[in-house]
Amino acid sequence: MKNILVLCTGNSCRSQMAHGYLNHFLNNRSYNIYSAGIETHGLNPGALAIMKEDGLNIDHHTSNHVDEYADVDFDYIITVCDHANENCPYIPSKNAKRLHHNFFDPSKVVGTDEEKHTAFLKAREEIKGYFKEFVEEYHLR
């Protein structure tokens, strides 16, 4: 089994959506998918709702701190925000391929419900596209 970690600041939104899409695209084929934060903020209701709109239920996910996975040897570590990338603690995985992409943060949008929905939709589509390409580029299927 290979291990993939998606790391964000609070493990509430972007990393949770990425975790959901990796599970979907890989269909759990010989991969353990983890998501964590350098902090924990709980699951963002907007992230849960926007994923459900795309047919993916991530309600069972939990917000985890990266230290919980100190003993896991990761094959891929993917940071999904600049803050996590710049403040990531040392993760002692021997041969992990480290990747970074700063995704738009919909949780920071202040406005009407429609504006917030549009922000979560934008982030979801960016994340979905990136992780679909990731699976294809690294031949993980």
| DSSP per-residue letters across 20-84 | HHHHHHHTTSSEEEEEEESS-----HHHHHHHHHTT---TT----BGGGGTT---SEEEE-SHHH
Q: Which of 43, 53, 33 is nearest to 13 (CA)?
A: 43
Tokens 């890989």, residue located: 26
Sequence-distant (6+) residues with CB within 8 A of 19 are 6, 33, 34, 35, 58, 61
**Set 4, 8, 48, 127: catalytic member:** 8
| Residue 13 designated active-site | no
**Set 43, 81, 123, 127: catalytic member:** 81
Q: Which residues are catalytic?
A: 8, 81, 88
